[in-house]
Structure 1
Amino acid sequence: MNALDFFAARLRFQTDVSDVHAAAGTVVLIDSRGEAGWRQGHIPGALHMPTAEIADRAPLAIDPATPVVTYCWGPGCNGATRAALEFATLGYQVKEMLGGIEYWIREGFPVETATGTTSQPADPLTAPRDTISCEC
């Protein structure tokens, strides 16, 4: 594999939190974490589907023609990769959201909790504070 093929493949199968935020309503967003993580906070509109449940639940809950994006905790966790593999095995068009919920929160996007929806200012180490896009 050469560099062109490698980077083109990454863009076909991975996405970032800003692109996911912009694509709201056009993809099914899957939170593959366990129950405790889901209760702690999740992306509004996401479906909670731990990786071990995908094979049984996905065909009943998601149209196979609908693009899917998986996420887990963050860059130190490969749960979203494992979840994306499960969806790919079932024939879904799937991408992994880089950075997980950690970078979603760090970029200032909303999180749904038991007490409602909340957000925090963007972390200047991960996103500009004055705009919703890094323009990269």
Structure 2
Amino acid sequence: MTNTAAAPASAPATDNPVLRTSAADPAVAEAHFAARLSLYTDPSDVHAALAADGDPGFTVVDVRNREAWDHGHVPGAVHIPYARAAGLAPGLIDRDTPVVVYCWSPACDGGARGALAFARLGYRVKEMIGGFEYWAREGFPAETAEGTDRRAADPLVAPAGVSCAC
């Protein structure tokens, strides 16, 4: 005889790839996402903080190499390649100032390497997820030796008139 009784509501459906592994307990999820937000920020929030009047309360640090920096960077960012952070950061950034580091893109671990270097130096640090790629794709200004340029936003990343309101 085949058992046709339905599985309890709390058991995930094994053929459902989303629920194959159960969702976390709310307390576990709360701790995870609170920790995540203490470690990461995004280009939109960084831009909003920099565009507001007054001191944003953090320093933006580009941890890429010179060639990438020269190609374009967040206006007002400090250039400290992550491999040189120990030698450069203490002379450029007060240790009590939080830093937001970024590298090129989400496909690059340079931002994580930079965040680790700053954390090891005793700085409070966040990584800007998406890196400079998503800064530029959202249409935020890029600074070069020639000045500041604002590129059009990528419609797949920041469609005109649409906001995620986050």
TM class by smaller structure? over 0.9
Aligned to 1:30: 61
Larger radius of gyration: 2
1:9 and 2:39 correspond: no
Name the CA distance, whole Å, in 1 between partners of 2:41 and 2:84.
23
Question: In the comparison of the two structures, how many residue pairs are matched?
Answer: 135
Residues 1-52 of structure 1: per-residue CA shift (max 9 Å, x gap): 9222111111000000011111224210000000110111111100110011
Name the CA distance, whole Å, in 1 between partners of 2:164 and 2:143.
24
Aligned to 1:115: 146
1:54 and 2:96 correspond: no
Tell me by how many angstroms 1:130 deviates: 3.2
Provide runs of 4+ in structure 1 moved above 3 Å.
none
Tell me by how many angstroms 1:134 deviates: 2.9
Higher relative contact order structure (alpha carbons within 8 Å, sequence separation ≥ 6)? 1
Cα RMSD after superposing both structures: 1.5
Aligned to 2:5: none
Superposition TM-score, scaled by structure 1 size: 0.93
**1:23 alignment partner, SS class:** helix
Q: Give unpaired runs (5+ residues) of structure 2.
A: 1-26
